Amino acid sequence: MSEESNAGEDDKSPSTLAAAGTSRRFTLAEVQLATDNFTDGVVIGQGGFGKVYKGFMVVDGKSVEVAIKRLNPRSRQGAREFLTEIEMLSRFRHRYLVSLIGYCDEPDEMILVYDYMPRGTLADHLHKSGKNLREPLPWSRRLWICICAARGLDYLHTGTSVQPDRAIHRDVKSSNILLDDNWDAKISDFGLSRLGPEDQAYSHVSTEIKGTFGYVDPEYSLTRRLTRKSDVYAFGVVMLEALCRRPAVDLSADEEQLVLAGWLEDCITEGRVEQIIDPNLREEIKPECLTEFVQIANQCLHYRSKKRPTMSVSSLHWHCKTERILQ
């Protein structure tokens, strides 16, 4: 058990944190060149900590398309998340985690440079409305995106023989799942992540409550004991978002449908699960697949963390089912 926080401590500099990995340090001039001096015309997103720009940068002699996150001028919280992101993404590299190419750390500037993900976030595809409304994703694609995210989280939770570190993401949500050209999903936004705990699935770290409303594990919010199973809970919410095409919390909905996880529970109890499915999927999704999917989501959302599956169980399970379903 350990206390807040392991990354972002004052004696750690970005270059020390990045040293374990392959992230490189960029100068502000390089970033300014890539973004046309942070012109609004190349802004592709806005998060809680600042704007994200699209640009090109020279990496290993090649020009690559990048997403550049410029954090708002130094705040204590922002600085901590900046360092944590560098530490985590320098340590953890995986096909289903977003790649950090590098960073820029200069007076009054904290900038992160990532691989550009051309298809945006899962949340964009599920929840954008009005003129930003997207074509509904087919069921097989939603399933594949969930599988990629599950595998990325499994790697983060368990490490590998080559890379034995483990971590808890702590902010799993559909807007932190990015999509590449092939619709492979990559987990992003590691600013709240925690290294450890070292041993079995339910060992915990004690920490103040962080995360996003609608995704936070209820047991963690009661006890402040953060476990890998808190990520599993949030992943269960993402599964429901993919199935229902509704946000985790929908303030415009009736009280029954306000919180997605609560709505599922009611529908299961009352035997009317079909009602929660995105109408675009009704013809597409096979009944046995719906049953499996809802069962796994429901297990992930169990109010007792010990009863939730580990990501490895769910991703393996997923894999087997999908091979059958997609045939």
Task: Give the residues lining the site for ligand ATP (CB under 6 A).
Answer: 44-49, 52, 67, 69, 98, 114-117, 120-121, 175-176, 178, 188-189
Contacts with 199 (C-beta within 8 Å, 6 or more apart), sequence order: none
User: Of 171, 184, 217, 278, which one is the catalytic site residue?
Assistant: 171
Closer residue to ligand ATP, CB minimum distance, 125 or 308: 125
* Torsion, CA 211, CA 108, CA 43, CA 126, rounded to 10: 0
- What is the largest distance, in Å, between two alpha-carbon atoms of the chain? 60
Closer residue to ligand ATP, CB minimum distance, 113 or 294: 113
Q: How far is the CB of 185 from ligand ATP (least distance, A)?
A: 12
CA distances from residue 127 to 69, 134, 172, 266, 314 in whole angstroms, order as listed = 22, 8, 16, 22, 25
Q: How far is the CB of 292 from ligand ATP (least distance, A)?
A: 29
69 in a known ligand binding site:
yes
Closer residue to ligand ATP, CB minimum distance, 201 or 237: 237
Active-site annotation holds for 184: no
HEC-encoded secondary structure of 214-273: CCCCHHHHHHCEECHHHHHHHHHHHHHHHHHCCCCECCCCCHHHCEHHHHHHHHHHCCCH
Query: Any idea which residue has 């809802």 for tokens?
Result: 294
Q: How far is the CB of 294 from ligand ATP (least distance, A)?
A: 27
Closer residue to ligand ATP, CB minimum distance, 64 or 313: 64
Cα distance between residue 121 and residue 248, in whole Å = 15
Q: How far is the CB of 323 from ligand ATP (least distance, A)?
A: 29
Going by C-alpha positions, the residue among 294, 316, 324 that lies closest to residue 158 is: 316
Sign of the dihedral through C-alpha 94, 97, 102, 104: negative
Closer residue to ligand ATP, CB minimum distance, 73 or 320: 73
Contact 32/17 with Cβ under 8 angstroms? no
Residue type, 223: T
Burial of 23 (0-12, 13-18, 19+ CB in 10 A): buried
Binding-site residues for ATP, in ranges, read 69
Q: Provide the annotated binding site.
A: 69
Active site residues: 171
